[in-house]
Amino acid sequence: MSVHSVVLIPGDGIGPEVAEAVRKVLTAADAPVSFVLRYAGEAALERGSEDVLPQETVDAIREHHVALKGPCSTPVGRGFSSVNVALRRKLNLYAAVRPFRSLAGVPTRYENVDLIVVRENTEGLYSGIENLITDGVVVSMKVATRAACRRIAHWAFRYATHKKREKISVFHKANIMKLSDGMLLDEARQVHEVDYPNIAYGEVIVDAGHMRLVQDPTQFDIILCENLYGDLVSDLCAGLVGGLGVSPGANIGDQDAVFEAVHGSAPDIAGQGVANPLALLMSATMMLNHLAETRHDPRASTAAARIKAAYDRALNDGQKTRDLGGQLSTTAFADAVIERLSP
Ligand code: ATP
């Protein structure tokens, strides 16, 4: 069997540093992938593209169906709109899935966190529709469609079944946003009652949900939410397991899947060689497991398991980057993982 072509988008800020570290680990682990390099974000503009999301990058993902992506920077309050949001919309990557698990070598307040956030990735306030009504008055539109609510609810329950998870809790604010968040609740309730009665189901007001997560994260299993709440709760969950340096993710559609860490381009540490590549490496192991499942290639899951065992060993041996209280550079951490790969 030949290797799988996967699009690699290094991204901006710390993106190229962590992407290179991950590429090295995957190569050392004999992961059955070959990378097709494409650019997005400021990196694309620097290479002469007029668009932060060049068509050839989108086309490459459509052709190969799987991408590993570093963060692309989004200026706050000005300039071009988010590359990440545009990519998710263009490719219809409607489900963001983000697992947050305690790591043995990374002590935090809780030892047994095992949460998955499933976030609707195409609508909500991320529609980016903002109108200046008159000087000093702006309206931002929160878009919700029944079709997208139903689609993400089905996806979440299917995923829960596949991963043998027990409960889905929808985080919402339907007491205030009765129509939009109310519609997600209607659809999730119906999917639960009709198709997946065996998976437990709960509804939690999003602010209280955040409080309860901080008090005791073991009360939750899969958290399903609309776009903005998913963004916010993801960073909270990241904080429960050691931070953005250890929080991976995937954006999944019916045709394509783009794997990327939860973190952004971290301009405050970019270019210093100190970023933690683990979040992108964990995203890469999710990618390998996805390839193993969708292409029936056990070599990919073997590589993923070897990489996971190696980074667990590295962390247990105290080999850590600065964000986790260690001293290692990005490349030194990647080397520490490579040294611990089982033969
Ligand atoms: P965005 O708006 O692009 O999501 P953000 O505002 O959430 O970005 P990040 O770029 O994710 O910000 O960074 C938040 C903080 O976490 C910064 O202090 C950054 O240095 C730190 N951070 C993020 N990713 C990493 C990483 N991989 N390794 C170490 N520190 C990181």
For 152-170, the pLDDT digits (tens) are: 999 999 999 999 999 999 9
In CATH terms, the superfamily for domain 109-241 is: Isopropylmalate Dehydrogenase (3.40.718.10)
- Evaluate if residue 128 carries a pLDDT over 90: no
Render pLDDT for 53-85 as a digit per residue (tens, 0 to 9).
999 999 999 999 999 999 998 666 555 568 888
- Distance, CA of 128 to CA of 149 (rounded, Å): 18
Instruction: Report which secondary-structure segment, H or E, holds 94.
Output: none
Q: Is the CB of 284 under 6 A from ligand 1?
A: no
pTM value > 0.85 = yes
Residue 241, helix vs strand vs coil: helix
Query: Is any atom of ligand 1 closer than 6 Å to the C-beta of 328?
Result: no
Domain limits, the chain: 1-94+249-343, 109-241
* Per-residue pLDDT, 77: 58
State if residue 268 touches ligand 1 by the CB under 6 angstroms criterion: yes
Specify whether the CB–CB gap between 74 and 52 falls below 8 A: no
Closest atom of ligand 1 to 73 CA is 3
Task: Work out the angle between the directed axes of helices 180-195 and 146-162 (0-180°, nearest 10).
Answer: 40
Same CATH fold, 109-241 and 1-94+249-343? yes
For domain 1-94+249-343, is the CATH number 3.40.50.150? no
CB 120 within 8 Å of CB 94: yes
